[in-house]
Structure 1
């Protein structure tokens, strides 16, 4: 459903949100921790920075940090910044010309679930996900 860049971007911002850290975090550190190529991760963070979700700073004490609080950034914001809005507006199979007049085989089914999925992503913040991740870790260690 998502591109690899989007999957990695979601993992990276969720990792950052779970750190509960206010300063810059090295992209190299994030890449090593999540086993994601640093050059690929850098391109992902460029998109997130261009979308106003992240700030970046070059140099030895640089890295990336949230431009807004994780309570204000939704999964939808991250997905659209990396993959664009097509998942929520275009044919799920990517078929040209798919629409009400000439629907693809999945059109009617996707039309029913597209908005609920969009709403789920739009109503779930990075802070929500970080809390859930923390709760899951606590359950595993108990």
Structure 2
């Protein structure tokens, strides 16, 4: 459903949200903790920074941190920043021309579930997820 970049981006921001840390954290540290390639993670954080979800600082004491509180950032925000809105706006099969006038074989069925899925992601914050991860003692490492 999501690209590999989006999966890693979600894991990375959830990891940061579980830390309750208010300063910059190096991408290298995040990559090592989550076993994600630092160059790949850097590209993901560039997208998140461009979307205004993260702030970044170069240099030895640099890294990334949330631009807004995890209570204000939803899973939807992260997904759209990394993968774009296509999952919620375009044909799930990727067929050109699919729409109300000329629907693909899955159009009607996908239309029925797309909005509830979008609403789930749009109403679930990083803080909500971090709290659940801590309560269930879940690991973000594969």
Per the TM superposition, whether the score is higher than 0.5 is yes
Which residue number corresponds to residue 28 of structure 1?
28
Superposed displacement of residue 128, structure 1: 0.1
Matched, 1:98 2:103: no
Please give the per-residue CA displacement for 1:9-50, whole angstroms capped at 9, x wherever unaligned.
000000000000000001001001111100000000000000
1:101-116 counterparts in 2 under 5 A? 101-116=101-116
Match of 1:136 in 2: 136
TM-score, normalising length: structure 1: 0.95
TM-score, normalised relative to structure 2: 0.95
* Partners of 2:99 and 2:75 in 1: CA distance: 26
CA distance in 1, matches of 2:103, 2:116: 20
Secondary structure of the residue that 1:9 maps to in structure 2? helix
Which residue of the partner structure matches residue 50 of structure 1? 50
SS in 2 for 1:114: helix
Partner of 1:12: 12
1:104 Cα shift?
1.2
Cα distance in 2 for residues equivalent to 1:65 and 1:97: 40
For structure 2, which runs of at least 5 residues remain unmatched after alignment?
none
Q: Which runs of 5+ in 1 are unaligned?
A: none
Equivalent residue, structure 1, for 2:67: 67
